[in-house]
Structure 1
Amino acid sequence: MKILLIGSGGREHALAWKIAQSQLVSRLVCAPGNPGMAKVGECIPVDDPIAFSKENSIDLVVVGPEQPLAEGLADRLAEAGIPCFGPVKAGAMLESSKAFTKEICDEAGIPTARYGHFTEAALAKAFLDEFEAPFVIKADGLAAGKGVIIAEDRQQAEKAIDDLLNISGSLVIEEFMKGYEVSLFAVTDGETVQRFGTASDYKRAFDGDKGPNTGGMGCVSPAPRFTKELEDRAMEEIVLPTVRALKARGVTYRGVLYAGLMVTDDGPKLVEYNCRFGDPECQLLMRRLRSDVVPSLWGAATGRLAGVGLDWKDEVGVLITYATKGYPGAYEKGSEIRGVEEAEKDDSIVIFHAGTKEEGGRLLANGGRVLSITALGEDYAYARGKAYQAANLIDWPEGFYRKDIGEGF
């Protein structure tokens, strides 16, 4: 099987790393890829995935990031008869439109926060009277994991409304839910739904959950405290009704459903959906998955997911995101990173590249989140120790990472 993988981040490196291990795969092309992905597949800039797939007899296209899905890449591939792991544009609206997701929740009776959808600042600000602080303000469109502002008081909330309306022209205001967050993953072909693991990520930039929201500064998997009973409930009350509600609208969702959940005193409630694997969660899921991932990707893309099973390792995982100083704000590119190969000599460690590039034999930082350091172990404390041991071997003065990932589990 020949596979084209779209993307260049840590999530895509993890997918490439796992896909390349499959006995079913004869060729893996990563477009455009990164230095880490170049070690497991061919990295080629591809302007037109449809033309490239036809010319190179590609059997399956796997789309990593959300933007191409929101723009309808899966629709165009379907029209060309090329199987795609990733939902069509109407399904990707679960991520590209917070308001659309809330409509689905209303239709299917899915537990979620009370909310209002607004395009005018005055109405949005008046709606704040419905809640007590803190207020949750979300840009309606894609925002790379950074379009959510939790305002501690009315003044911050009104500023957030003005800022986010300027960005997206549409926003959702939600009731603040108390509890702990969990990332729940499922793969589906629109009929069969396959559970694909859980994780808990760390969104704030600095230790103690301080600082601005980021795309994710680390995670642990499986999600601590999230019991089998809670997972069963989330699947039955949230994920399965979503797939059915989309089907009722004529949308056959093929790909991964990433449900961001808040586990409250009343049980799991939906915070948001993403239409792709999480980053950094995907990196740990691929590390923890013992079985071949390709049958799940192919089964979802072609409507043949029924009967495909998964086998997970017994170990748990801890991931540390190594980011450029200044992220998620302004940061400089081009600083040299040393010691990655030394850190990976430990069998429990795999380091995935996100924002890197190679130049003259040197590995350089080329983004905000740059490396994902993953470690597996028999418990979180062991895996955590291994991950930080590896992080300490990397020589990169221009980078930073949180020191409290996986603490206390």
Structure 2
Amino acid sequence: MRVLVIGGGGREHALCWALQKSARVSELFCAPGNAGIATIATCVPVEQTSVLDMLRVVHQVAPELVVIGPEVPLGVGIVDALNGEGVRVFGPTQAAARLESSKSFAKSFMQRHGIATAQYQVCSSVEEVAAALPAFAMPVVVKADGLAAGKGVVIAETGAEAEQAAAELLALGGTLVLEKFLEGEELSFFALCDGNTAVPIAAAQDHKRLLDGDRGPNTGGMGAYSTDELLPNSLRQALLREVAQRAVDGMREEGTPFRGILFCGMMLTARGPMVLEFNTRWGDPETEAILVRMETDLLDLVEASINGTAGDLAVRMRPGASACVIAASAGYPAAPRKGDVISGLEQPLPEATVIFHAGTAATPTDVVTAGGRVLAVTAAAATLDDALFRAYQVLDRVHFEGMQFRRDIGFRALTKR
């Protein structure tokens, strides 16, 4: 089978890595891809914000199946366009993807369908934010309504900070969501959906802040880990029943069936699990951590979603744990530097360890940095300690000028013991 993956980050490298292991994948393409993906797939340039350009690539490659990685192509409607041309594609339609592309839609949807989430208020001006603030305790969360690459969230400690954050987010256009701050432990829960049924895959925890100890600015994610203990059966069943399946049922009832990956960003509060946000695709870097543990053929998941047979699928995960540590470029996240030569990529890797490329490019002589998050070093093992040891062992031998990474990935799980 000829398969085309849309995207070019660490998530897409992990998707390509998993797909190329399937005996049924004969040819693999990725648009636009990166230097790491190019070692296992044919990379094709594309503009991911343009449906027309993505269609050009599909016509050029003539795949039997298209897998969409990032949120932007989903938000601009590539799935609708491919469905219109009779191309089999994995991912939600533009209307279904509003669960991610519009925070205000997602909040009102959860309210309509009895999915637990925080108190909120949609605002379109700083004046509306100021008027709404007395109804919220501090700190308060200010969120961009639209897509913001994981960085459109500010936790404001004071009303003045909330108004400043609102002014900055509103300057980007659109509206914003003011939300009650929830306390507890965060968890990312992933489910496969086929329009009628949600099937649990796995859970992970990511680390958004740039620096150790959850300090510094928010990023797209500096690392993630996945363990058996993150998702005990009672929690798995609760999240499946009260969140993922309710979301699938609600989208179907509203005439926009949801197919693809539903990423449920959860806060485990004293009152029970509550949804922070929905994403309508695999997360990054959670995908890297989950896929190195997945024993089920990824192509089976993709086809079950498209064919409406997700209920017949039981997703198998390797017992134990996995960890992904992101190596970011100098200046990230404010002003990531590009063009620095990366060394150490050819080193022998420990068992069950992979270097996924995120922001990289190939020159005639070297692999260089080409984005904020550069590499996603990922390992699976029987224990989280062993997985982290393998990942950091590799990172200590990789180098590029200004490389930055956290040394405390997985600290929440490690300190519970």
Task: Give TM-score, length-normalised by structure 1.
Answer: 0.97
Write out aligned runs for 1:120-139 (5 A).
Answer: 120-139=125-144
Further displaced range: 70-79 or 150-159: 150-159
Write out aligned runs for 1:360-399 (5 A).
Answer: 360-399=364-403
Corresponding residue of 2:409? 405
Task: Give TM-score, length-normalised by structure 2.
Answer: 0.95
Displacement of 1:224 in angstroms is 4.7
Distance 2:227 2:144 in 1: 29
Q: Does the CA contact (< 8 Å) of 1:219 and 1:319 recur in 2?
A: yes
Further displaced range: 110-119 or 33-42: 33-42
Q: 2:236 aligns with which of 206, 231, 245?
A: 231
Corresponding residue of 1:347? 351
Can you list the C-alpha shifts for 1:18-58, whole angstroms capped at 9, x where unaligned?
A: 00010111111111111111111111124634354345442
Further displaced range: 127-136 or 7-16: 127-136
Partner-residue secondary structure (3-state), 1:168: coil
Q: Does the CA contact (< 8 Å) of 2:6 and 2:32 recur in 1?
A: yes
Can you list the C-alpha shifts for 1:125-179, whole angstroms capped at 9, x where unaligned?
A: 1111111111100000000000000011121111011111111320000000000
Displacement of 1:301 in angstroms is 2.1
- Flag the 1:39–1:171 CA change in 2: closer, same or farther, 3 A: same
2:2 is aligned with 1:5:
no
Further displaced range: 124-133 or 225-234: 225-234
Distance 1:266 1:354 in 2: 37
One-letter amino acid of the counterpart of residue 381, structure 1 = D
Corresponding residue of 1:178? 183
Further displaced range: 238-247 or 227-236: 227-236
Displacement of 1:111 in angstroms is 0.3
One-letter amino acid of the counterpart of residue 386, structure 1 = R
Partner-residue secondary structure (3-state), 1:137: strand
Q: Does the CA contact (< 8 Å) of 2:227 and 2:320 recur in 1?
A: no
Corresponding residue of 1:308? 313
One-letter amino acid of the counterpart of residue 43, structure 1 = C
Can you list the C-alpha shifts for 1:82-114, whole angstroms capped at 9, x where unaligned?
A: 111110000110111000001111110110000
Corresponding residue of 2:330? 325
One-letter amino acid of the counterpart of residue 399, structure 1 = M
Distance 1:52 1:369 in 2: 26
Displacement of 1:315 in angstroms is 2.6
Q: Does the CA contact (< 8 Å) of 1:182 and 1:223 recur in 2?
A: no
Displacement of 1:272 in angstroms is 0.2
Q: Does the CA contact (< 8 Å) of 1:200 and 1:222 recur in 2?
A: no
Distance 1:81 1:306 in 2: 24
2:190 is aligned with 1:159:
no
Q: Does the CA contact (< 8 Å) of 2:29 and 2:43 recur in 1?
A: yes
Further displaced range: 6-15 or 25-34: 25-34
Partner-residue secondary structure (3-state), 2:172: helix
Distance 1:108 1:15 in 2: 32
Corresponding residue of 1:297? 302
Distance 2:15 2:266 in 1: 23
Q: Does the CA contact (< 8 Å) of 1:230 and 1:267 recur in 2?
A: no
Corresponding residue of 1:18? 18
- Flag the 1:120–1:287 CA change in 2: closer, same or farther, 3 A: same
Can you list the C-alpha shifts for 1:235-268, whole angstroms capped at 9, x where unaligned?
A: 1111111111111111111110001000001111
Distance 2:394 2:60 in 1: 42
- Flag the 1:298–1:141 CA change in 2: closer, same or farther, 3 A: same
Corresponding residue of 1:108? 113
Displacement of 1:360 in angstroms is 1.9
Distance 1:300 1:8 in 2: 23
Can you list the C-alpha shifts for 1:62-99, whole angstroms capped at 9, x where unaligned?
A: 00000010000000011111111110000110111000
Distance 1:309 1:227 in 2: 16
Distance 2:151 2:141 in 1: 13
Corresponding residue of 1:75? 80
Distance 2:271 2:79 in 1: 37
One-letter amino acid of the counterpart of residue 26, structure 1 = S
One-letter amino acid of the counterpart of residue 19, structure 1 = L
Distance 1:222 1:189 in 2: 26
Partner-residue secondary structure (3-state), 1:195: strand
Distance 1:325 1:309 in 2: 42
2:288 is aligned with 1:276:
no
- Flag the 1:405–1:223 CA change in 2: closer, same or farther, 3 A: farther
2:34 is aligned with 1:34:
yes
Structure 2: unaligned runs, 5 residues or longer: 48-52
Write out aligned runs for 1:248-287 (5 A).
Answer: 248-287=253-292
Please report the RMSD computed on the Cα atoms of aligned residues, expressed in angstroms: 1.4
Percent of aligned pairs with the same amino acid: 40
Displacement of 1:225 in angstroms is 4.5
Partner-residue secondary structure (3-state), 2:290: helix
- Flag the 1:266–1:7 CA change in 2: closer, same or farther, 3 A: same
Distance 1:258 1:302 in 2: 20
Distance 2:222 2:115 in 1: 29
Distance 2:38 2:102 in 1: 34
Distance 2:262 2:358 in 1: 22
Can you list the C-alpha shifts for 1:275-298, whole angstroms capped at 9, x where unaligned?
A: 110000001111000121101112
Displacement of 1:183 in angstroms is 0.3
